Amino acid sequence: MKKIAHWLTRPILLHWLMPYLMTLVITGTVAQKYIGLYDSQRLFFSSFLFWVGPLPLPGNRTITALLLCSLLAKLILASPWRKATSGIFIAHLGVLMLLLGGLITAASSVEGYIALEKNETASQFFDYHQRQLTISKNNTTLMQIPLSEITKGKTIQGLPFSLTINALCRNCTMAMRENADDSFKGSAHKVMLSPLDTYLEDERNLSGLEFTVSGVGTYIAFEPMPNQPSFTIGKDTYNITLGRTAYALPFSLQLLDAEKENHPGTDLPRSYRSTVLLSDGNLHQRAILTMNHPLRYKGYTIYQSSFNGNDDSTQSVSFAIVQNSGRVFPYVASITLCIGLLLHLCMRLPTLIRRKI
């Protein structure tokens, strides 16, 4: 353990990791053009390991963790506190906090959205990218399975029936089904899923599944379908829904009013403005959100995102929601880093002046 710890303090580790990290950033940035922002971020920056053919390479999280361990070992084992180097020590502590905040943000942050019509209330928000298959019985959720864990041919057990996945697509459209027999139930009797090329903007993709329920029949679940599969076994009604992953909020949000201001003489939006009512138990608070003034409450930051509809007939207003446990780290780390650099400069200034003289 001592050998590993002292190896981590060596600057050669930093000299190898930094060029690799710069190469990773450039590669991930270029890859956005071909595979989209979400897939590029997931592959290069939100992973511990990714594959280039048969070769495994460390992802951004692994590199950041190694840099964090190296800097921590350097501060503890190879940089004892001395008055003469206190500024550098504090500056390195600021960098350490910045790396730690990055890891916490990567591991715990959640981003999503809420779309509200006027006077509508919501107490949950939806993920931009993650989808899930929800199986419920008599309006009680039995099982929630991330779409990323579902593959063609997979059979889901642990229910009063088995559910086998016949086909799935990350981006689909509907097509008319010809010569359907009685085994196809619900919408699947008339329509089928037709795969499409995925959009680079992952938010635009619409996922779909075709599955068979043992002893019942074959159904399709498609994100935009208003009436997704429902069937009865005995006295129980089962619903199977495919949609964006939902997260519960510790409060509710109601849209009271919304305004959109256009640039003079054009239909281009200049600003959005929404008045909301935040309710949390006995707390009821009105707040105004604009494009550059979000609402912050209980670790959640709510941004004005978009305005759908005309000025006089609002269809809905979209809010982006971010929960980030590490959001204070960059501020504290930047202040600590500045204090360390200023302290080091002040302590070195007399020596620099004497040398100049």
Q: In terms of domains, do 228 and 143 share one?
A: yes
Q: Specify the long-range contacts of residues 196-199, CB closer than 8 Å, at least 24 apart.
A: 196/169, 196/171, 196/172, 197/171, 198/36, 198/170, 198/171, 199/36, 199/171
Q: In terms of domains, do 148 and 235 share one?
A: yes
Is 260 within a domain? yes
Is 330 within a domain? no
Is 329 within a domain? no
Domain span holding position 116: 111-123+247-323
Give per-residue pLDDT as tens, 266-311.
Answer: 777 777 888 999 999 999 999 999 888 899 999 899 998 887 765 5
Q: In terms of domains, do 301 and 284 share one?
A: yes
Q: In terms of domains, do 231 and 95 share one?
A: no
Q: In terms of domains, do 312 and 345 share one?
A: no
Overall number of domains in the chain: 4
Is 341 within a domain? yes
| pLDDT recorded at residue 24 | 94
Which residue in this structure is represented by tokens 């080091």? 344
Is 94 within a domain? yes
Q: Residue 153 has what DSSP assignment?
A: T
pLDDT at 313 exceeding the cut of 70: no
Among residues 202, 228, 246, the one where a domain terminates is 246
As a whole number, the mean pLDDT across the chain is 88
| pLDDT recorded at residue 25 | 94
Judged by DSSP in three states, 234 sits in coil
Among residues 226, 246, 266, the one where a domain terminates is 246
Judged by DSSP in three states, 48 sits in coil
- Neighbouring CB atoms inside 10 A of 188's CB total 23
Q: In terms of domains, do 185 and 280 share one?
A: no
Among residues 196, 230, 246, the one where a domain terminates is 246
Q: Which two tokens stand for residue 112?
A: 């999503």
Residue 357 binned pLDDT confidence (cut-offs 50, 70, 90): low
Q: In this prediction, what percent of the chain has a pLDDT beyond 90?
A: 50
Q: In terms of domains, do 206 and 349 share one?
A: no
The answer to whether the CB of 258 falls within 8 A of the CB of 308 is no
- Neighbouring CB atoms inside 10 A of 238's CB total 20
Q: Residue 74 has what DSSP assignment?
A: I
| pLDDT recorded at residue 353 | 79
Q: In terms of domains, do 29 and 73 share one?
A: yes
* Rounded distance between C-alpha atoms, residue 240 and residue 124, angstroms: 19
Give per-residue pLDDT as tens, 188-224.
Answer: 999 999 999 999 888 889 999 999 999 999 999 999 8
Give Cβ neighbours of residue 170 (< 8 Å, ≥ 6 apart).
198, 205, 207
* Rounded distance between C-alpha atoms, residue 328 and residue 109, angstroms: 13
Q: In terms of domains, do 346 and 279 share one?
A: no
Is 328 within a domain? no
Is 89 within a domain? yes
Q: In terms of domains, do 56 and 89 share one?
A: no
Is 157 within a domain? yes
Q: In terms of domains, do 299 and 342 share one?
A: no
Q: In terms of domains, do 174 and 189 share one?
A: yes
Give per-residue pLDDT as tens, 135-151.
Answer: 999 989 999 999 989 99
